[in-house]
Each structure stands twice: as C-alpha cells, then as structure tokens.
Structure 1
C-alpha cells in the first residue's frame, strides 16, 4: 500500500494549495527559473521549503547526507549526483546564490566525528562522510577534538565552510563567483530552537539573523545576506 502520510498529504494539496496556486503551476509547467540553489541535508527534520517559507519554483534543492559538497573530480567513470546538480544549477539555470545549509544534531556529521559501524557491506555512508575529514583536521589544528563540549556543532560549522571551499574547486563556480554573477553562503539551522545562523565569509563565524538592527527578518530574505 502506498504510504498513508503521502496519500493524505496529496489529498490536502489537491484540495488546497493546487487550486490556490493553479496559475503558478501552469507557468512552472513551461520550465523553472530559481535564483537560489540550496544544498542541505536529507534529514527529514530539515525541509528548506518549510524553513524559508518558499513556494514551488523558488529554490533548486540538493539534499544528501550531511549537506556535503564533494571537491571537483575529473573522473568520467564515476557517478556524481551532487556535482551534476550543481553543474545544472550554475550552468543551465544560472542561479545567483548557492546556500550550503547544515543543521544541529546531524547524524552524518556525528558519524564522521565520532565514528560509526557500517550499516551495510558497502559502507556507503562511511565512505561519503569521509569527506568531512579535512574539516576535522582544521579543527584539530586549533586544539579542538571530540571530547570537548559542543564539538559536533563546531564540526557542523566547519563542514559548511569546507563545502563552500569545495564549491570553488569547480571551475564554472569559481568563474561565476569571480565575475560577480554568483554568491556563496553558509547557513546552519537549529532544529529544536528554529534559529537560523548564517556564516560571515570574512571570519567564518556563524551569527543569528532572526533580527537585525531591531527589525525581524522574513526567512526568505536571509538568503540575500552574507554574500561571499
């Protein structure tokens, strides 16, 4: 039987959102033109469209374990799902922003930080989160390690920074950034608190942007902040 949660959700969509946004969906039937590529975690608790209160066609989304951007690989024999989606977003859709959004209590980052037994003989997750190693090494160079309080949060932050660095190993991304056509951002979402923090590209620090200069910001406006 098809999952009931999906059946109920689709029924609600048919009776509510679809009629209310019929014209938008008819327009989107001819193609998409989002300004933002958001690279987030596949964790079920972190849905970008919910967090940023966006509608269909507004965000092009990539979700994978631990919101990781792998470095560019000149390998024509492999299968590169995340890299191919980045290529499409930048080269075909011409997005203006890329946001790498991590989140609190990320299981993939925890597996990378503390280690975890393989879930299958293929150890797909273990091999994937090995891409976190450079971020761990940078933290270790500052004297940080897994026995210190809040280490995983700092590793979540560090991996967002590492993914932004990895984005710049793609020639077409670097070219667009240097030409001013594309801006890179880092963000971190606190699941229990609902707090969104964005990364200062100059310092690498993360700051809450719930309010700025005494004014509350709509979540959809936050993607315009902290341009790199």
Structure 2
C-alpha cells in the first residue's frame, strides 16, 4: 500500500468511525467560530503531534508548526511571515490566553544546527537560514558547555531554543501588552519522543521540570 492509499484508507476509517459517531459535534464546530483553548508553537516533526500528545479534540488547540518550533522576531515588513501571522491571528483574532512553545527531543532542525557548528551545514536553500535564529544560542553553549557529549549538547540546544522563542514572542507588542496586564500567559514545554515525558519550564527553578515529578 502506498502512502496515499494508506491515507485514504485512514480517512475512510475516520469517516465511518470517529466522524459518524460524533457527527453532531463536528457540525456544531463548523457552524460557529473556533475557540481554541491554547496556541501551541510546535515542530513540524511527524513524531511530535501536539493533538496526540495532549489527547486534544478538534477545536481545542490552535497549532503553529515549523522547523524546530522557532519564533522569529517581530518584523512587520513586506516579507512573508507565516509563523508571525499565525501568532498574530491566534492572539489578537481568537483572543487565546495561553501560548505554549513546545520543543522536543531528537529535533532534526537542532541536529542541523549542531552539525553546522562542525562544518557540515544542511543542504538546501532554507533550513540553515531559518536555524540561524538560534545560532547564537548554539555558539554560546559550545563555549560554556564544551564538556558535554553530543546527546547532552543537543538536549541543551533543544531546550534553550524553546527559551529563545519565548524571548522572541515578547518582541511582539501585542504579546508584551497582554502578558503585562495578565490577559496572556507564556509557557515553555519540552516533550521526550522516546520517553513520552513532558517537561515544563519553571522560571523559579530556572529549569525544565517533568510533569510527572510535579504531580
């Protein structure tokens, strides 16, 4: 079975199963404006699907996905800004109160960033430029954590990239204003693909804390 055939079969199973069992709910969702509970900026990695990780139903999450879950700085110019446009719509258009940057283990974008530091930049026209958003993060870690092995360094880069994206969110005026007056909350989360463990950044402890440990 080809990939396309598999997807069509999956759709048919959805149509006759989940959709049919919840048809009234789906029709109700389509009849009104979406009101998602949270905006999640996640990686486009096929193994880290927020809806699956959080057992979310349709309409609950407004998800923005890109390579390495990065947030670019606020740059209202004539260039194309897909991630920024989605953030703007989610916050100012849908009035979402919780914005989450969700990083994950074994991120291909971070791996490309790591390899670039070894003189092996990624092929193609776009990945290297996009990952330059956190180039200084990688450079700083190589200086301050030179003792770490590859896996430990990658984990540091993955989690520091989440924190950098939180910093970049605060360059958006509508984010700063809403966070300052309490209408908006920012969160940094990290998901272990292999372990299944979710960690949340705790500013008081200046580290990511496993959700299981907080229960």
Q: In 2, distance between residues paired with 1:82 and 1:145?
A: 32
Q: In 1, distance between residues paired with 2:60 and 2:66?
A: 19
- CA-to-aligned-CA distance 1:75-124 (integer Å, 9 cap, x gap): 1x20000000000000000001011001101010111122143422xx20
In the alignment, structure 1 residue 89 sits paired with structure 2 residue 93: no
Query: Which residue does the alignment assign to 1:117?
Result: 121
- Answer yes or no: is the 8 Å Cα contact 1:185–1:198 preserved in 2: yes
- CA-to-aligned-CA distance 1:182-227 (integer Å, 9 cap, x gap): 11001111111111111112343011112534xxxxxxxxxxxxxx
Counterparts of 1:2-17 in structure 2 under 5 Å? 3-17=4-18
Query: Which residue does the alignment assign to 1:74?
Result: 76
Counterparts of 1:48-197 in structure 2 under 5 Å? 48-75=50-77, 77-115=78-116, 116-120=120-124, 123-140=125-142, 143-145=144-146, 148-149=149-150, 150-197=152-199
> For this pair of structures, how many residues does the alignment match?
209
- Answer yes or no: is the 8 Å Cα contact 2:137–2:157 preserved in 1: yes
- CA-to-aligned-CA distance 1:38-57 (integer Å, 9 cap, x gap): 00000000000000000000
Q: After TM superposition, which residue ranges in structure 1, 4 or more long, deviate above 6 angstroms?
A: none
TM-score norm. by structure 2 comes to 0.91
Query: Which residue does the alignment assign to 1:26?
Result: 27
Q: Which has the higher helix share?
A: 2
Unaligned ranges ≥5, structure 1 = 214-228
Unaligned ranges ≥5, structure 2 = none
TM-score norm. by structure 1 comes to 0.86
Deviates more, 1:55-64 or 1:111-120: 111-120
